[in-house]
Structure 1
């Protein structure tokens, strides 16, 4: 397994939060005009449609968003489904959700805690002895990113020097994006790099934590992650468009395309990277979903339908270093917050060319879910401000009833 990798293209503090340039940076490009579409529930939301169009004008190839608040539910899209085509993205097309996968894994793990099958503060080594984990690492530490394990997609050392992870950027990734990684392989690669800090002593976002949590779920239940996801969450909530693809490169059903620009010996090339083997990220972010399914899931979770109240409190209790609970953010860092100060919980995500938003009020009554597609890679960071501005405006319209729509993005 090669360890060659590009350095992060996003500001250091964002990279340490596990956010590649794919999450926060968007490349400007020429996009063929397409008719924007909306699926309102008995009302028009031109202000929301305008925000989506602004995102496309700022460089996104396509965007779809779904809002539910006191004015009802609205879904719309803008831009194009695929470069060179005039077709607009579906208002409920499928997309790669990236790190939103972590909230699903955390929820499933906490459900096992509720059933007495997993101890939140028990050593993970008891369930996964084959990795020789430090016995001080607990389930809670995995879910809150306080275990200290190395992030297999790359991390900084104590002196601030970048330590490469597996290939996840550049020409090497494009050429090898159908490579299969076993989750155990990712864990062993990370553990060979040594810990970043003593278990529980600090906070550092690491995808390795959630690959371990995924393996923990499989070990305890005796089922694959996909089987357990279906049994615990997807079937009960009627989420028919959400999948854990494992090693499959396909996205079934209607979906927008994602792109990646890279340097090929001095020549810039752009590849359609919609199809890829997502095993390189595994439990760190391999799932596929829709805005409707994410809304259904997050609303049910925050509304107390998936976890007992005490464990939901645990999930939403932030780590003091970064404001991260168990599988979700409970404070704004590192993304914008509603300018009116309305409380939110969220977990966003990204995979090359796809960026996902998933926000809710603490009771789940208000939600914002969205997918943005764009040309990732070389030059993508030039559109970070446009992404943040669009996110800020969508948040204000969802959670502030538009009262702070002119506010500047959180920095």
Structure 2
């Protein structure tokens, strides 16, 4: 019983992880917040880009049918040849529909023709609903041409058919999605465990006050470099294993990937410093990892298609650094994008990184101001105590100097 009482006393003492609060918070987040965010289990208004080289009334009608589907939303219509791969950068589209020249003519003259479709298979689940919807649209059109409008009977042989091509992960390999996602998630998680307790550790060893008085926020950021270097090496090593022993594809440039990782590691490290700043000790700081790492893994794409989430969830998910990481992983590793191809996304990430840096500076200089105020108060109190001691020591001397009557 004594050991039980001792452990209960420690649990509520605040010296370790505040598990009594964490367990309640996790239960509420999972059941309420995630329940709302993950309420959709199908692609709703998935982004579709149409390359319409026919530019006819029939192709316009087919485009309108696609846009009218609850599963798809046409975000752009192009009338010139474009490399479909470029349209998938920055997750701008899930599928690209290609209407060839003379499509309308072939349809009404009974000549067999194909509508091309390119699918983004960086997540194998995101295109299932789109494929069904496109097949249904073409099936209804062929049925109407055969004089059976409204039918989706597979026996209706039509002149229009879909010719699809799966890009970026044609074999649907888990090495390119789930396993790769876990590599970046667990790597980022343990990097956070290693760095989030840095400020509490420096405070306990009485080094933080010296840094606040004599240094800058950059002195703390420099301490992240060895941890960040280890993380980047682990990423490269892990991808090498997945590529060698598995069938992970690396379509981009390794140097481009490494450049992005330097900024990503710095951002995660600065967020670790911010979230762990007020913790009493490194143990308590470690429990705060849950506030900004798992969210990016859940909503960033590796666990479920982004097209399943409402637009507001996709927008909010960018407060998590891993969401940005998975954007870059899909574009650089899977799709082979260069820095110029993702410049827009990279610029937005730099804005996010700048905001994190400003928050770190605000926390640093706010703590310096509080420290200076505390030192000034302590100095003032010490001066008052010394003055009181001097007055107390002067009174006996004054009394002894008075001559006896």
User: TM-score, structure 2 length as denominator?
Assistant: 0.27
Q: State the structure with more CA Rg.
A: 2
Of Structure 1 and Structure 2, the greater helix share is in 2
